[in-house]
Homo-oligomer: A and B are copies of this chain.
Amino acid sequence: MPDDGDTRVRAVCPACHTIHYENPLNVVGTLPFWGDSGEKVLLCKRNIEPRKGFWTLPAGFMELGETTAEGAARETDEEAGAVIEMLGLFTVMNVARVSQVHLYYRARLLSDTFRPGHETMEAKLFEEHEVPWEDIAFKTVKATLETYFSDRKRGHFGTHAIDIA
């Protein structure tokens, strides 16, 4: 663990001399599914930049004091107004280029009625062949969707560590 042997350049506030460490950020979200065999997934059409108009899984920055699962459930409520049962940790993805780690959980939808928040134009269920693959907002969302449909075919859901270029 770090101590005062720190050798990195850090930003220091000119007024209060506090060292402002810059650290990687966590993005947490869910892959909400619907149907007897989980054949449909919930996507949200983004109403905000970046990637406005593109489709995403409900996700956002993890906040202080919450677990990754709690943050993922919170974002699912805020962005989709979806009622879910949280299941296992599904993807842990490194996006080192922007110093982010994205963590997605599988989540069983308990209703197919949604109340999207202001960040979302539309929340909609898609079967695999209906997914707008060309209009997915982020690589981590595409990787999580692909891994879901792949695991679903082999009949077993694992926890997957993936590096995103």
Contacts and interface: CB of A to CB of B under 8 A. Distances in A.
B61 A5 contact: no
A15 B13 CA distance: 8
Nearest to A27: B1
Interface residues of A, number: 46
A23 B26 contact: yes
> Looking at chain A's contact residues, is the secondary structure mostly helix, strand, loop, or mixed?
loop
A140 B26 CA distance: 19
A59 B20 CA distance: 21
A23 B20 contact: no
A91 B158 CA distance: 13
A62 B161 CA distance: 16
B48 A3 contact: yes
A163 B67 contact: yes
A131 interface: no
A67 B94 contact: yes
Contacts of A69: 94, 161, 163
Given A23-B62, A65-B99, 13 more contacts: A1-B46, A1-B59, A3-B119, A5-B118, A13-B15, A23-B25, A23-B26, A26-B101, A67-B96, A70-B96, A92-B159, A159-B159, A159-B161
Interface of A: 1-3, 5, 8, 13-16, 20, 22-27, 46, 48-49, 56, 59-70, 88-89, 92, 94, 96, 99, 101, 103, 118-119, 158-159, 161, 163
Which 10 A/B pairs are nearest by Cβ-Cβ distance?
A15-B15, A67-B94, A159-B159, A89-B161, A3-B48, A64-B99, A1-B60, A67-B96, A24-B62, A14-B15
